[in-house]
């Protein structure tokens, strides 16, 4: 266990409680290690820490419109590469037809998030229906295919050379966020048995990002039963019940859904806003300097971002301050509605990500300048929320 140097101190005008009771006329910025799990310092600034005039060089906040990626990909191995490093690969699969072959990922567990459409999954373990908002975790080397009911857009998150696990839930217990009993598994049902047969079947295997094909004289999805605890699981993002505090804005790590090796997957879902008058009610500025932050926007009104719509991705590499857009800051202490109305998937990656070809082709070049304000931005008074 690593032991950080911990010397908590207070200097100048500062709050004694993070994310609450900020000194009048200030903006808070959290400097933290290990993705909000390590030591941290709260800075209090006279200006928004994202109030820049411009950017030069390769490092900057980026956004991509994945709806611009062409559809018609007949195999997940044709999915468009978005972002990747040695531990995680993000691809976007736009499929408008049923698969005529099976696939198997020998490079790691695969997490699929169904953004649009519906499909029927057939895999080693049986049959499972998929709808918009579903997460589906497929263990490494699971054979599978989908039959498309309506065209699907899928975010694919590969845990390269690793395995997905569930987060430790500590004081709140194992039933928080979602009860493990909410996880659905494939069934050997009539639909699964009906697709079995003596027809020639191809299995396209991905190993070290290279493809090989094995052909069987029969359909290898021919199981008649199984038992064990290594199995695909499905949960819909709308079944996730977020941890909340009415007195303090919680960090993104409180919304962790799955753990990968050197990255986490979090789910942002509707929740009530904080009600304590002194608590900030927008995401706090933060220097999450050990992680790259990626958010895929699924549905709803993304209250801390301007001009972001479903199907977009934002990528904020480490090295600069992340935080809400200027318009959101006007509602820092007082919101105009009782709660958030957004569904989004966040990936926090411990190692630097590289941009794929599809991301580069769909980048919104002006995004880095979207924090510019036509005039000075001043911190709203805490009294406004009293």
Q: Alpha-carbon distance 72 to 151, whole Å?
A: 9
Beta bridge partners of 184: 234
Question: Mean pLDDT across the stretch 19-29?
Answer: 94
Domains observed in the chain: 27-52+59-63+239-369 (2.60.120.10), 71-163+184-237 (2.60.120.10)
On whether the CB atoms of residues 174 and 180 are closer than 8 A, the answer is yes
Question: Mean pLDDT across the stretch 236-258?
Answer: 92
Full-model pTM: 0.94
User: pLDDT (tens digit, 9 = 90+) per residue, 334-347?
Assistant: 888 899 999 999 99
Q: Predicted confidence band at 386 (pLDDT cuts at 50, 70, 90)?
A: very low
The response to whether 65 counts as a known ligand-binding position is no
For position 34, what pLDDT does the model report? 83
pLDDT of 299 higher than 60: yes
Beta bridge partners of 81: 91
User: pLDDT (tens digit, 9 = 90+) per residue, 54-106?
Assistant: 999 999 999 999 999 999 998 999 999 999 999 999 999 999 999 999 999 99
For position 374, what pLDDT does the model report? 66
HSE-up (13 A, CA, CB side) for residue 374: 1
User: pLDDT (tens digit, 9 = 90+) per residue, 143-191?
Assistant: 999 999 999 999 999 999 999 999 998 888 899 899 999 999 999 999 9
pLDDT of 351 higher than 90: yes
Q: Is 11 exposed, middle or buried (0-12, 13-18, 19+ CB in 10 A)?
A: exposed
Residue 254's φ and ψ, nearest 5 degrees, are -70, -15
What the block records as the tokens of 169 is: 């839930």
Among residues 238, 269, 231, 232, which one has the least CA distance to residue 346? 269
Q: Alpha-carbon distance 100 to 84, whole Å?
A: 28
Residue 31's φ and ψ, nearest 5 degrees, are -100, 115
Instruction: Give the Å distances, CA to CA, from 50 to 55, 85, 284, 322, 323.
Output: 12, 26, 11, 7, 7
Question: Mean pLDDT across the stretch 210-230?
Answer: 98
Catalytically annotated residues = 249
What the block records as the tokens of 385 is: 């929320």
Question: Mean pLDDT across the stretch 5-19?
Answer: 89
Q: Alpha-carbon distance 97 to 110, whole Å?
A: 21
The response to whether 292 counts as a known ligand-binding position is yes
Scored b (16 or more CB within 10 A) or e, 125-152 reads bbbbebebbbbbbbbbbbbbbbebeeeb
On whether the CB atoms of residues 253 and 334 are closer than 8 A, the answer is no
The response to whether 322 counts as a known ligand-binding position is yes
DSSP 53: S
User: pLDDT (tens digit, 9 = 90+) per residue, 263-281?
Assistant: 999 999 999 999 999 999 9
Average pLDDT over the chain reads 93
Place of tokens 């509605």: 337
Handedness of CA 368, 370, 376, 381 (dihedral sign): negative
Q: What is the DSSP string of 267-329?
A: EE---BPP-STTB--SPPEEEETT-EEEEEEEEEE-TTSSS--TTEEEEE-TTS-B---HHHH
What the block records as the tokens of 386 is: 């009293």
- CB atoms near residue 353 (< 10 Å): 24
pLDDT of 354 higher than 80: yes
For position 331, what pLDDT does the model report? 86
Among residues 111, 68, 81, 69, which one has the least CA distance to residue 346? 111
CA dihedral 18, 22, 28, 33 (to 10 degrees): -10
On whether the CB atoms of residues 240 and 257 are closer than 8 A, the answer is yes
């Amino acid at each position: 266990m690593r032991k950080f140097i911990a010397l908590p101190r207070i200097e100048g005008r500062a709050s004694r409680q993070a994310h609450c009771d900020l000194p009048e006329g200030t903006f808070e910025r959290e400097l933290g290690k290990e993705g909000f799990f390590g030591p941290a310092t709260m800075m209090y600034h006279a200006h928004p820490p994202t109030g820049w005039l411009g950017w030069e060089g390769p490092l900057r906040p980026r956004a991509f419109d994945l709806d611009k990626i062409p559809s018609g990909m007949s195999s997940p191995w044709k999915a468009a590469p978005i972002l990747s490093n040695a531990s995680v690969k993000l691809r976007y699969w736009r499929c408008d037809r049923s698969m005529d072959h099976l696939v198997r990922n020998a490079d790691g567990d695969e997490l699929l998030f169904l953004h649009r459409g519906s499909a029927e999954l057939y895999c080693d373990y049986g049959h499972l229906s998929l709808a918009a908002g579903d997460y589906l975790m497929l263990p490494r080397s699971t054979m599978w295919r989908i039959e498309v009911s309506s065209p699907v857009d899928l975010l694919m998150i590969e845990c390269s050379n690793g395995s997905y696990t569930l987060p430790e839930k500590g004081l709140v217990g194992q039933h928080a966020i979602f009860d493990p009993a909410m996880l659905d598994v494939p069934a050997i049902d009539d639909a699964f048995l009906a697709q079995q047969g003596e027809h020639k079947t191809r299995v396209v295997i991905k190993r070290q990002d290279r493809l090989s094909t094995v052909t069987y004289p029969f359909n290898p999805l021919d199981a008649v039963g199984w038992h064990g605890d290594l199995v695909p699981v499905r949960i819909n993002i709308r079944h996730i019940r977020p941890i909340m505090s009415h007195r303090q804005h919680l960090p993104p790590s409180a919304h962790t859904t799955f753990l990968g090796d050197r990255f986490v997957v979090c789910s942002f879902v509707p929740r009530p806003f904080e009600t304590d008058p002194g608590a900030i009610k927008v995401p706090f500025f933060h220097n999450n300097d050990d992680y790259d932050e990626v958010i895929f926007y699924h549905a709803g009104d993304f209250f801390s971002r301007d001009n972001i719509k479903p199907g977009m991705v934002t990528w904020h590499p480490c090295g600069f301050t992340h935080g809400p857009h200027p318009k959101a800051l006007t509602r820092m202490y007082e919101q105009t509605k009782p709660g958030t109305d957004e569904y989004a998937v966040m990936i926090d990656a411990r190692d630097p990500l590289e941009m794929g070809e599809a991301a580069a082709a769909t980048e919104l070049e002006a995004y880095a300048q979207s924090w510019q304000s036509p005039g000075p931005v001043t911190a709203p008074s805490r009294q406004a929320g009293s």
